[in-house]
Structure 1
Amino acid sequence: MALLLTHARYQFLETVRVPIALVGNAFFPAAAMLFFVVPAAGDHPVGATIAAASMMIFSVMTSGLFTHGIGVAEDRAQPWDPYTRTLPAGPWPRFGARVLTALGMTLIGILPVLAIAVFLTEATATPVQLLLGLGALVVGSIPFQLLGLFIGYALPLKAAVAVVQLVFFPMAVGGGLLTNPMDPPAFIAAVAPFLPTRGAAELVWAAVGYGTPRPLAMVMFGVWIVIAGALAVWAYRRDEGRRFS
C-alpha cells in the first residue's frame, strides 16, 4: 500500500504540473454540457440530469483513454520509466497508481460539469444519488482505463495519440452519449448496448434514479472489462519482454 500511494503521488503530481492536462481533461465534457445540454434540455429536470450524467461519462473516458493511452506511451519513451521497471516493487504498484491518478483526473473533470448542471439547468439529485453516481462513475471507468493501458503499453506515442482519438469519438457517439437515450436513432439503438460507454452510462443513470441497466448492456460491459484487462496485461508483458529481456 505504501508503494502504491508513493507511485500515485508521484504520477499525480507529474500530471498536474502540466496545467493544460487539467484544462483538457475538463474542457470537452464541460463544453458539451454548456453548448448542447443547457440550450436543449436545461429546463427539463429528467433530461438535464441524464445528460449531465452522460457528460460525466465523457470525463471518465477522457481520463481513462487519454491519461493512460497517451501518458503511458509518453512515459515509455523517457529514461525514468525503464529505471522504475527494474526496481523490485513489481508492476502492480505502478498499475494501481496509474488507476488512482486517472480517477483523480476524473474527479477534477466532472467538477465543471456538476457546476454547470447545478447552476444552469434544472437537473436534480439527492446527496445519496450523487454518492451512488460517483460510485457508478468509478465502476464505469474500468474498461476505459484498461483500454488506455493497453494502448499506452502496446504503441509508441505518435500511434497512441491517433488510436486514442479513433477509439474515443466512435465509442462516445455509438454509446449514445450525444443523443436522447429515450429516443435514439435506430443505428445508435442497435449498436449502443455492445459498447462499454452504454453500460457505463446506464449504471450512472440508474444511480441517479433514472432507468434500470439492461442485461445486454451489463453483460457486454463485463465482456469489455475482461477483454481490455487481458489486453492490458498482455501489452505490459510484451513491452517488458522486448525492452528488458
Structure 2
Amino acid sequence: MNLALTHTRYQLLQLFRIPVAILGAAFFPAASLVFFVVPNTRDNPTGATLATASMVVFATMISNLFGHGTGVSDDRAQPWDPYTRTLPMGPAVQFTSRILTGVTMMMLSLIPVVIIAALFTPATIAPLDFVLAIFAVLITSLPFTMMGLSIGYLMSTKAALAVVQLIFLPMAFAAGLLSTPGEEPGFIQTIAPFVPARGAVELMWATVGDFDVNPVAIVSFVVWTLFFGALAVFAYRRDEGRRFR
C-alpha cells in the first residue's frame, strides 16, 4: 500500500502541474448544468436534484474515461513508465495507484457541479443522503474506471483520445443522462437499461431522491463492470508481455 500511495502522489503531482487537466475534467458537466439544468428547473426541486445527479455521473464518466484512457496511454509512451514496470512491485500497485489518482481527480471535478447546483438551482439533499451519494459516486465510477484503463493499456495516445471522444457522449445520451427521468425518447428507454451509464445514474437517482431502480439496469451495470475489469487486467498483461518479454 505504501508503494501505491507513493505512485499516487507522483501521478497527482504530475497532474497538478498542468491545471488545465483539472479544469477540463470539470468543464463539460459544469457547463451542461449551467446551460441545461439551471434555466429549466427553477421551480422544480425534484427535477433539479435528479438532473444534478445525472451531471455527477456525467462528470464521473468524463473524468475516468479521459483520465485513465488518455492518461495511461500517454504514460506508456514516456520513458518513466517502462522503468517502473521493471520494478518488482506487480500490477496491483500500478492499478491501485491509478485508481486512487482517478478517484481524487474525479472528486475535484465534481466540486463545481455541486457548488453550481447548490447556489443556482432548487436542488435539495439531506445531509445523510449527501454522504451516501459520495459512496454511490465511488461505486458508479467502477465501470468507467475499468473502461478507461482498458482503453489506456490497449491503445496508443492518439487512438485512445479518439475512442474516448467517440464513446462518452453517445453513451451519456443512450443512458438518458441528458434527459429527464421517464421522459426519454422511446428508443432511449429501450436501450438505456443495457448501457453501463444507465445503471450508474439510476443508483445515483435512488440515492438522492425517490426513484425505483430498474433491476435490468443494475444487473447490466454489474456485468459491464466485471467485463471491463477483466479486460483491463488482460490489457495490462498483454501490454506487459509485448513490451517486456
Q: Same fold (TM over 0.5)?
A: yes
- TM-score band, normalised by shorter chain: over 0.9
Query: TM-score scaled to structure 2, two decimals?
Result: 0.98
> What is the one-letter code of the residue matched to 1:162?
A
Give the count of matched residue pairs: 245
**Partners of 2:105 and 2:213 in 1: how far apart?**
26
Runs of 4+, deviation exceeding 3 Å: none
Match of 1:243 in 2: 243
Instruction: Give 2:45's aligned amino acid.
Output: P
SS in 1 for 2:10: helix
Residue 42 of structure 1 corresponds to: 42
Aligned to 2:209: 209
Structure 1 partner of 2:20: 20
Q: Deviations over 1:48-96 (max 9, x none)?
A: 0000000001111011100000000000000100000000011111111
Q: Using the alignment, how far apart are the partners of 1:210 and 1:78 within structure 2?
A: 48
Q: What's the secondary structure of 1:211's corresponding residue? A: coil
State the AA in 1 paired with 2:230.
A
Matched with 2:165 is 165
- Looking at structure 2, the residues matched to 73 and 172 of structure 1 have their Cα atoms a distance apart, in angstroms, of 23
- Find the counterpart in structure 1 of residue 80 from structure 2: 80
Runs of 5+ unmatched residues, structure 1: none
Match of residue 71 from structure 2: 71
Deviation at 1:212, TM superposition (A): 2.3
Q: What is the 5 A alignment of 1:220-239?
A: 220-239=220-239
2: CA distance between counterparts of 1:182 and 1:118? 24
Matched, 1:4 2:4: yes
Per the alignment, do residues 127 and 167 of structure 1 end up closer, same or farther by CA in structure 2, a change over 3 Å counting?
same
Q: Give RMSD over aligned pairs.
A: 0.8
Residues 125-172 of structure 1: per-residue CA shift (max 9 Å, x gap): 011111111111100000000000000000001100000111111111
Q: How does 1:84-233 map to 2 (within 5 A)?
A: 84-233=84-233
Q: Which amino acid aligns with 2:75?
A: D
User: Unaligned regions of 5+ residues in structure 2, if any?
Assistant: none
1:227 aligned partner, one-letter code:
F
Q: What is the CA–CA distance in structure 1 between the aligned matches of 2:17 and 2:235, rounded to whole Å?
A: 28
Distance 2:34 2:171 in 1: 21
Q: CA deviation at 1:184?
A: 1.0
**1: CA distance, partners of 2:184 / 2:63:** 26
Q: Counterparts of 1:97 and 1:136 in 2: how far apart (Å)?
A: 21
CA contact (8 A) 1:154 1:235 kept: yes
Mapped to 2, the partners of 1:130 and 1:242 lie a distance apart of 45
Matches of 2:182 and 2:168, distance apart in 1: 23
Identity %: 55
